[in-house]
Amino acid sequence: MVSEAGESRPARLDVGVVGTGRVGAVLGAALAAAGHRIVAGYGVSVSSRLRAETLLPDVPLLTVAEVLEKSSLVLLTVPDDTLPGLVDGLVATNAIHAGQFVVHTSGRFGVSVLDPVVGRGALPLALHPAMTFTGTSVDLHRLAGATFGVTAAEPLWPVAEALVIEMGSEPVRVDEERRALYHAALSHGANHLITLVNDAMDMLRAAGVEQPDRTLAPLLSAALDNTLRQGDDALTGPVSRGDAGTVADHLVEIGRVAPEAVDVYTTLARRTAARALASGQLRATDAEALLEILAAPPGPS
């Protein structure tokens, strides 16, 4: 759709949000800030309804069918595994009308999951925000500078691009067949980082550090910044130096206080060694003893 000024941006749309959870309520608020009309929402849990009250004030919470009836664009912000069944249900209940934009925010799926509604004349878009959500107004500020993984047919790309830009973010094209890999990369980087950092904080507490977050924050912030700027050149620490004795001590201590984390440390250390070898930071001769330790990590003494 094109504005009167000839800009490639959607006209003001009547937006419905199916799933007023952490993502849906925030994106609805972002679209409202861009001038779109949030006409209805659907949320079941108490937390979803509270988020809607806070971020989408005066927006009525209705049934899914009623949300679809009122909307020229509907956001389907539901869990990945729920999305295909929801789409089938929309078709079975004749909730879709021709010319309606149907937008999902799943990272896993492209637009093919929306094929059933396309058969009813809907216009499909896949817009996945590459960020974590708290479900609060803080997320509206975080959208600025964030990216969305966008999958859309070429004629619909200008609409997808405009919607993302209006929310303050940057659209990134993701091919349909590479959508799962795209999502795996984000999940591996972000979700596993949370687990890794929490494990590290637990170990610091066991070492007697009362505020592990304050100890880790500058180190992790610098490591992340350096990695995004320098790639493998940012590698530091005993694995990249081939300090087998230090790594062996680490494994003993981790096995003593957090045995469930030994396999994670070992797997990541092997992967780090492989990257350090490939980038030339770790010499093969220095890696031999290290890799022997990692092949059969010592138990606690």
How do residues 83-107 score in pLDDT, each as one tens digit? 999 999 999 999 999 999 999 999 9
What is the domain count for the chain? Answer: 2
Q: Residues 157, 107: one domain? A: yes
2 in any annotated domain: no
pLDDT tens digits, one per residue of 253-263: 999 999 999 99
Residue 169, phi then psi, degrees to nearest 5: -115, 180
Q: Residues 102, 53: one domain? A: yes
Instruction: Report the CATH number that the domain containing residue 204 is assigned in CATH.
Output: 1.10.1040
The yes-or-no verdict on residue 39 having pLDDT over 50 is yes
Which of 113, 144, 174 is a domain's end point? 174
| pLDDT-wise least confident of 1-5, 47-51, 72-76, 89-93 | 1-5
129 in any annotated domain: yes
Q: Residues 45, 169: one domain? A: yes
Percent of the chain with pLDDT over 90: 94
Domain that holds residue 111: 14-174
Q: Residues 50, 136: one domain? A: yes
| Amino acid residing at 214 | R
Q: Residues 135, 32: one domain? A: yes
Q: Taking a C-beta distance cutoff of 8 angstroms, is the pair 83, 105 a contact?
A: no
Q: Residues 56, 138: one domain? A: yes
Q: Residues 41, 58: one domain? A: yes
7 in any annotated domain: no
* Per-chain mean pLDDT for the chain: 94
Q: How far apart are CA 126 and CA 112, in angstroms?
A: 9
Give the pLDDT band of residue 284 (cuts 50, 70, 90): very high
Q: Residues 266, 194: one domain? A: yes
Q: Residues 46, 155: one domain? A: yes
Q: Residues 20, 160: one domain? A: yes
Average pLDDT over residues 188-211: 96
Sign of CA dihedral 192, 197, 198, 204: positive
Q: How far apart are CA 301 and CA 286, in angstroms?
A: 25
| pLDDT-wise least confident of 67-76, 178-187, 267-276, 288-297 | 288-297
The pLDDT value recorded for residue 296 is 75
Percent of the chain with pLDDT over 70: 95
As a whole number of Å, the end-to-end CA separation of the chain is: 69
Task: State pTM to two decimals.
Answer: 0.88
249 in any annotated domain: yes
Average pLDDT over residues 68-74: 97
DSSP three-state, residue 61: strand
Give the pLDDT band of residue 11 (cuts 50, 70, 90): confident
Q: Residues 159, 114: one domain? A: yes
Which of 151, 174, 197 is a domain's end point? 174
Q: How far are the Cα atoms of 47, 64, 171 from residue 125, in angstroms, in the given order?
A: 27, 19, 12
Give the pLDDT band of residue 297 (cuts 50, 70, 90): low
Average pLDDT over residues 259-268: 96
Q: Residues 55, 137: one domain? A: yes
